């Protein structure tokens, strides 16, 4: 998901808009990020970015608020304001000018970390005849952090069940008190991950 290509262009808004921007544009292909709104956290893909604004691809309708934050996988956040929305794409302006080079190379607090969403999902966790209830607190395409009263060992194989996404197989990578970090045997596709997040937080966006 971190591969991208850069091409020099000049326009952030859709073709035909009279109010064109003079700031150079760079095209980033398939850079996953998330939009943080009052309704929750939502997956998007950054497509075009300049010092003054950014356009993204969406997997559902845009959250209904004018001011949002764009967060990259490494944890860096940018305040943004809605400019336009067309189909599954939307454009925003940055509240403050940004360095395109810094955004592209984004290291942030968690460099090279996969995109994660703060979601609350009740689950049942099974292993070796033991079945416990728990709650996912943090979800990515590759894994999750959950809390449970069950006792599980590092590298133990688990079966995690939820009404929201069915059943997944996972392996414990770390534990701290009653919190566990797991990696999934099979990862979520980005679109499925995005739509799951919308269904949990703002299902009306899926009717867009």
CB atoms under 10 Å from CB of 135, counted, come to 12
What integer pLDDT is reported at residue 6 of this predicted model?
A: 33
Q: What is the pLDDT of residue 185?
A: 97
What does the pLDDT read at residue 111? Answer: 52
Give the pair of three-digit tokens for residue 208: 């867009």
pTM: 0.79
State the DSSP code for 205: G
d(CA 6, CA 16): 23
By residue count, the chain amounts to: 208
CA distance 173 to 156: 8
CATH class of 8-105: mainly beta
- The answer to whether the CB of 152 falls within 8 A of the CB of 180 is yes
Which tokens belong to 57?
A: 């691809």
Residue 44 CB coordination number (10 Å): 25
Domain map of the chain by residue range?
8-105, 116-184
pLDDT of residue 7: 34
In this prediction, the residues of the chain whose per-residue pLDDT falls under 50 are 1-20
Please give the helix or strand (H or E) that residue 55 lies within, else none.
strand 53-58
Q: Do 94 and 46 touch, CB atoms closer than 8 A?
A: no
Which value, in Å, is the radius of gyration of the alpha carbons in the chain? 19
108: which DSSP letter?
-
* pLDDT of amino acid 136: 97
User: 3-state DSSP call for residue 25?
Assistant: strand
CB 138 within 8 Å of CB 145: yes
CATH superfamily of 116-184: predicted glycosyltransferase like domains (2.40.10.220)
pLDDT score at 14: 43
- Express each pLDDT in 71-88 by its tens digit: 998 888 999 999 999 988
Q: How much is the pLDDT for 177?
A: 92
What is the reported pLDDT for 11? Answer: 39
Do 8-105 and 116-184 come out as alike in CATH topology?
yes
């Amino acid at each position: 998901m971190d591969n991208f290509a850069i091409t020099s262009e000049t326009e952030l808004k859709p073709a035909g808009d009279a109010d064109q921007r003079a700031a150079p544009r760079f095209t980033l292909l398939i850079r996953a990020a998330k939009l943080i709104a009052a309704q929750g956290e939502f997956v998007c893909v950054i497509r075009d970015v300049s010092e003054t604004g950014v356009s993204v691809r969406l997997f559902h309708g845009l959250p209904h608020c004018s001011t949002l934050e764009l967060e990259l996988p490494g944890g860096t956040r940018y305040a943004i304001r809605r400019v336009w929305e067309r189909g599954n794409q939307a454009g925003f302006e940055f509240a403050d000018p940004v360095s395109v080079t810094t955004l592209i190379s984004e290291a942030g607090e968690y460099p090279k970390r996969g995109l994660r969403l703060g979601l609350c999902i009740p689950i049942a966790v099974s292993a070796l005849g033991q079945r416990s209830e728990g709650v996912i607190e943090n979800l990515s395409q590759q894994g999750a952090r959950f809390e449970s009263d069950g006792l599980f060992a590092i590298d133990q194989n688990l079966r995690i069940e939820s009404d929201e996404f069915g059943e997944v197989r996972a392996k414990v990578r770390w534990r701290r008190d009653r919190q566990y970090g797991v990696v999934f045997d099979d990862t979520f596709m980005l679109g499925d991950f995005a739509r799951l997040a919308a269904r949990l937080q703002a299902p009306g966006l899926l009717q867009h």
